[in-house]
Amino acid sequence: MREYYRSGATKEASWRKSQLKALLNLLEENQSEIFKALKQDLGKHHAEAYRDEIGMLIKSLNYALANLKQWMSAKKAKLPAIALLSTAEVIPEPLGLVLIFSSWNFPFGLSLEPLIGAVAAGNTVVLKPSELAPTCSSLLASTISTNLDNKAVKVIEGSSDMGTLLLQQRWDKIFFTGSEKVGRTVMSAAVKYLTPVVLELGGKSPAVVDSLQSSWDRQAAVKRLVVGKFGTCAGQACISVDYILVERKFLPTLVELLKATIWKMFGENPKKSNSIARIINKQHFLRLKNLIEDDPLVKASIVHGGSMDDDSLFIEPTILVDPPLEAQVMTDEIFGPLLPIITLEKIEDSIEFINSRPKALALYVFTKSKTLQNRLISETSSGSVTINDAVLQYAADSLPFGGVGESGFGRYHGKYSFETFSHEKAIARRSFLSDFWFRYPPWNHNKVQL
């Protein structure tokens, strides 16, 4: 792959375009197979699969195709006045051979979204999907090898052992989506060759919900909260609403609205609903079950839901009110359909609450108060802030997507993906005509005076 990169083939704009078009083709021609694979591995309904993966990727590919020429163009720059008669520019050059790790919750989205950036920037790429979504992983491997230039783009399937082997190789960049724990392993391995890394991790993303006045606003807010939690891979998303912060006096209204909305979206018996994804595997199912079962105080805090089915790996949308803050459900990323609500005396106390915890990947704020919006934006730190909605920020090509602090670093989507997989090379061009004598030794009194 390195040799192929050195041949220069992947640097051509025509090659980059052809790979983006091949990805579009892959998605269009294999749509029903992709739906089946996502159903098989995650129980995702095809409407959700289209909204979060196929549709999102088609949008990103069209955006990259429309903007590629501009992204690839040299940007004019200036040299200091001492370099009279000169020009300068910044040229984006590909990095070379890059490694992408993806996770299982959006197996197509989180594999192909960074791949779009990597091929748009002219790199050769190895993609390592997660073994926990095996049908999707093998479909990615077979469709990519038949649709894309397989001298330049390869999918390597396997478990963490394969991940370890891949990390022993030399790469020009490692783009990792996954857990904080494995993120640390990736970073340690990258030290050997000083490989730059992007870590797209997770964490606990809070939603601050103010006591909205009109019933229209309240219902819109709760609908977006419910879809941003239970209606997006059953809460198994890095930017899921992890927990809600609310003023104590608004709690009863909020809980009633949440219950009614869950009922509307997933019916009286959500186990029968085809609109809520399943937990990825038994291990994660047990992890979530234990978050509740292992702590009687957490169990006692359930005000809605709580039923689970081991056979179908189903967990009902579950609401907890004020579980102990030191319980695992409030210290670890939940990554499933459990939604704790933490009550506060005043909504402004949310600022202190958020600042006393690791920096989140996303912060959601539901309020019409510009003062509260601006205070939360300026007085807390997170990968992104979304006002009056949840998860939607992921869909924006013009917003950088990434974390800060323990939720990761680096960014992608749209032009940011192209930049993440490019090196901005500084070019300075001088003329032989002009020069200044004081730039050159020997140093003497006159030069020092200057």
Neighbours of 293 (CB within 10 A): 12
The upper half-sphere exposure of residue 188, i.e. CA atoms within 13 Å in the direction of its Cβ, equals: 7
Nearest distance, CB of residue 161 and ligand NAD, angstroms: 8
Nearest distance, CB of residue 185 and ligand NAD, angstroms: 5
Distances (CA, A) of 71 to 58, 64, 394, 428, 430: 19, 9, 21, 20, 25
Among residues 53, 200, 247, 333, the one annotated as catalytic is 200
Distances (CA, A) of 401 to 30, 31, 224, 266, 391: 27, 26, 20, 30, 11
The string over 422-434, giving b where at least 16 C-beta atoms fall within 10 Å of a residue's C-beta and e elsewhere, is: bbeeeeeeeeeee
* Identity of the residue, 69 or 192, whose beta carbon is nearer to ligand NAD in the bound complex: 192
Query: Do the beta carbons of residue 383 and residue 361 sit within 8 Å?
Result: yes
Nearest distance, CB of residue 51 and ligand NAD, angstroms: 16
Q: Would residue 200 show up in a list of annotated catalytic residues for this protein?
A: yes
Nearest distance, CB of residue 142 and ligand NAD, angstroms: 18
Among residues 238, 316, 333, 406, the one annotated as catalytic is 238
Residue 51: partners with Cβ closer than 8 Å, 6 or more residues away: none
State the sign of the Cα–Cα–Cα–Cα dihedral 315, 317, 319, 324.
Answer: positive
Q: Would residue 238 show up in a list of annotated catalytic residues for this protein?
A: yes
* Identity of the residue, 172 or 333, whose beta carbon is nearer to ligand NAD in the bound complex: 333
Distance CA 63, CA 169 (A): 32
DSSP state of 427: E
- Site residues for ligand NAD per CB under 6 A: 101-105, 110, 128, 130-131, 159-160, 163-164, 167, 177-179, 182, 185, 200-202, 238, 333, 335, 361, 408
* Identity of the residue, 372 or 385, whose beta carbon is nearer to ligand NAD in the bound complex: 385
Which residue lies nearest ligand NAD, judged by its C-beta?
202
* Identity of the residue, 94 or 114, whose beta carbon is nearer to ligand NAD in the bound complex: 114
Distance CA 58, CA 428 (A): 38
Structure tokens at 334: 């939940």
Nearest distance, CB of residue 383 and ligand NAD, angstroms: 8
* Identity of the residue, 238 or 321, whose beta carbon is nearer to ligand NAD in the bound complex: 238
Among all residues, which ones are annotated catalytic? 200, 238
